[in-house]
A and B are shown apart, each in its own frame.
Chain A
Amino acid sequence: MGRYDRQITLEQVGLEGQARLQHAAVLVVGAGGLGCPALQYLVAAGVGRIGIMDGDTVALTNLHRQTLFNAGDVGRKKAIVAVERLSAQNPDPELLALPFHLSPANALDTISGYDLVLDCTDDIPTRYLVNDACVQADKPFIHGSIHRFEGQVSVFNHLNGPTYRCLFPDQPERDQVPSCAATGVLGVVPGTIGCLQATETLKVILGMEGILSGKLLIQDFISQTVRTISFQRDAVQVRVAMQRDISAEQDERRACATQEHDGITAEEVQQALDRNERWQFVDVRELHEQPHVDRLQGHRIPLHELAIRIGELDPALPTVVYCQSGVRSKLAVKLLREHGVAEAHSLEGGVLAWMAEVKELNT
């Protein structure tokens, strides 16, 4: 008695609502920039049982946005540290650490044990996996995702509402949509979006009105504009999710390592340079992006200008295209090949991978 008084006072909560929260079981997939704030508020509100699923360990570069962790946690499993911190915050909820990634092998089993799921992950294949497993297990899930200064929130598969595939039926390849590591992120953006996910979670548990089902909320944190886009359930896409044979699949993380690619590794580029081969380098990042790498000096053509500036390149030279993480450069390679630069390759993992592997940075 006492801890939840201020929310019990609300007409939409009351003692009955508080009991609903206490009896709810929620799975949070991903304890990162979105998952940390979402977890803090769900635990504070007294949600009864919470599974925290994340296979990653805490890294120093997580700390500016993943507010459950501190410097002493670096190297420890996020799911385990999260349970420690959250149980100190509120001893009431039953917290379970699941210190591994959501995979085709464990998705259905894990999700089946909860009433609803928060998708706080950070890559596209896992988001489709969350969708398909939730559709098959008949669980609603609360989606949150960000790109730089923009965020998206929606509630999918809620009371026969639309699913993630109804909104985005064509699954992009993993490397077509960059992660926070590639684009950069200001902590408050996932912080805010994670809080919105917690808000929708509480609304669903409490059976409140105005749930973002069939609605995609898009927040732009620079102009501070919020848009809501409406969309419908698409029976074809629900069937696609239902018919996916999830448990028969091998882990996508391993599968994509064997896929055919038109990339080149930092090591291969290094070796070619050591052999003094003549290569042409094209940096397709925006002009302000750092760092500059001396050994990769060449053309600087931001991706959106590439189509009109292709004439600046020598189509006869073997060409390495690079960006920050290898996403934009893959698109650039497709464009270059179409325009007759036949021997174009994308630097896998971009400048980030180059720095990590070659450590030959010169700003």
Chain B
Amino acid sequence: MHMTDTTIIVRYFGLLAEHTGHGEERLQFPTGTTVQHVRGSLCEKHPALRYLKYRVAVDTALCTDDKVIDGCTELALLPPFAGG
């Protein structure tokens, strides 16, 4: 592990937890990694993610794909819920 790697907890909400088989996982990314890159690497690991609509929040704020995750601790993958 490089000294400046970011270790981040990825939390899957709703249907995403079922489709990835995880509620959360701890992952490491090199310095300068963007949310877009994280999404890409998660899709490789969990192909079902490619077909699902979700937003990403980093440390409780919704963000766009160009957000750099350096120094962040939590990344939440949030799909819309239908049920009521």
- Residues on A lying within 8 angstroms of B by beta carbon are 30, 32-35, 120-124, 127, 144-148, 150-152, 167-168, 170-172, 176-180, 183, 185, 190, 216, 218, 227-232, 286, 302-307, 328, 331, 334-335
Q: Cα distance A150–B11 when bound, in Å?
A: 13
Instruction: Flag whether B7 is at the interface (Cβ < 8 A).
Output: no
Q: How far is the CA of A232 from the CA of B53 in the complex (A)?
A: 19
Which of B61, B79, B82 neighbours the largest number of chain A CB atoms within 10 Å of its CB?
A: B82
Contact count band on B: 20 to 34
User: CB of B32 within 8 A of chain A?
Assistant: no
- Least CB distance from B37 to A in Å reads 20
User: Which DSSP category, helix, strand, loop or mixed, fits chain A's interface?
Assistant: mixed
Instruction: Give every chain A residue within 8 A of B81 (Cβ-Cβ).
Output: 145-147, 150-152, 177
Name the contact of A303 in the complex, choosing from B18, B57, B60, B82 (C-beta under 8 A): B18
Which residues of B have CB within 8 Å of A331? Answer: 19, 48, 51-52
| Min CB–CB distance A77 → chain B (angstroms) | 18
Check A122–B53 contact: CB distance below 8 A: no
Distance A150 CA – B15 CA, assembled complex (angstroms) = 10
Contact call A230/B19, Cβ cutoff below 8 A: no
- Quick one: which of B15, B47, B78 contacts A307, CB cutoff 8 A? B47
**7 A-B pairs closest in CB distance:** A304-B21, A145-B81, A231-B62, A147-B14, A122-B84, A177-B82, A147-B81
Report which of A33, A148, A176 forms a contact with B51, defined as CB distance below 8 A. Answer: A176
26 examples of A-B residue contacts, CB within 8 angstroms: A33-B84, A123-B82, A124-B82, A144-B84, A145-B83, A145-B84, A146-B81, A147-B81, A148-B14, A171-B53, A172-B53, A172-B79, A176-B51, A180-B83, A183-B83, A218-B78, A229-B57, A229-B78, A230-B61, A286-B18, A304-B18, A304-B19, A305-B21, A307-B46, A307-B48, A334-B51
Q: A167-B55, A168-B55 are in contact. Are A177 and B80 (CB under 8 A)?
A: yes
The listed residue (A168, A171, A172, A229) touching B60 by CB distance below 8 A is A229
Across the interface, do B60 and A147 meet the contact criterion of CB distance under 8 Å? no
Complex formed: what's the CA distance from A189 to B47 in Å? 30
Q: Which of A123, A227, A335 interacts with B48 by CB under 8 Å? A: A335
Minimum CB–CB distance from B5 to chain A (whole Å) comes to 25
A228/B60 in contact, CB under 8 A = yes
A168 partner residues in chain B, CB cutoff 8 A: 53, 55, 80
Chain B positions within 8 Å of A335 at CB level:
47-48
Closest to A121 in B: B84
- The answer on a CB contact under 8 Å between A177 and B47 is no
A349 → B minimal CB distance (Å):
16
Chain B residue contacts of A303, Cβ below 8 A: 18-19, 48
Q: B residues bordering A, Cβ < 8 Å?
A: 13-15, 18-21, 46-48, 51-53, 55, 57, 60-62, 76, 78-84
Query: How far does the alpha carbon of A170 sit from the alpha carbon of B53 in the complex, in Å?
Result: 7
Question: In the complex, what residues of A have CB within 8 A of residue B78's CB?
Answer: 216, 218, 229
Inter-chain CA distance A167–B62, complex, in Å, is 8
Give the chain B neighbours of A30 by CB distance below 8 A: 84
B53 near A176 with CB under 8 A, answer yes
CA distance A175 to B20 in the complex (A): 18
- Could you tell me the distance in whole angstroms from the C-beta of A227 to the nearest C-beta in chain B? 7
Nearest Cβ on chain B to A244's Cβ, whole angstroms = 17
The docked-state distance in angstroms from the alpha carbon of A307 to that of B20 is 11
Q: Tell me the complex Cα distance, A144–B13, Å.
A: 15
Q: How far is the CA of A180 from the CA of B21 in the complex (A)?
A: 20
Contact check, B55 vs A147: say whether CB atoms are below 8 A apart.
no
Q: How far is the CA of A228 from the CA of B78 in the complex (A)?
A: 12
Inter-subunit contact B80/A227 (CB<8 Å): no
> A184's closest neighbor in chain B, by CB?
B83
A330 to B46, CA, bound (A): 16
Contacts of B55 in A (CB 8 A): 167-168
In Å, the complex CA distance between A178 and B15 comes to 8
CB distance from A151 to the nearest CB of B (A): 7
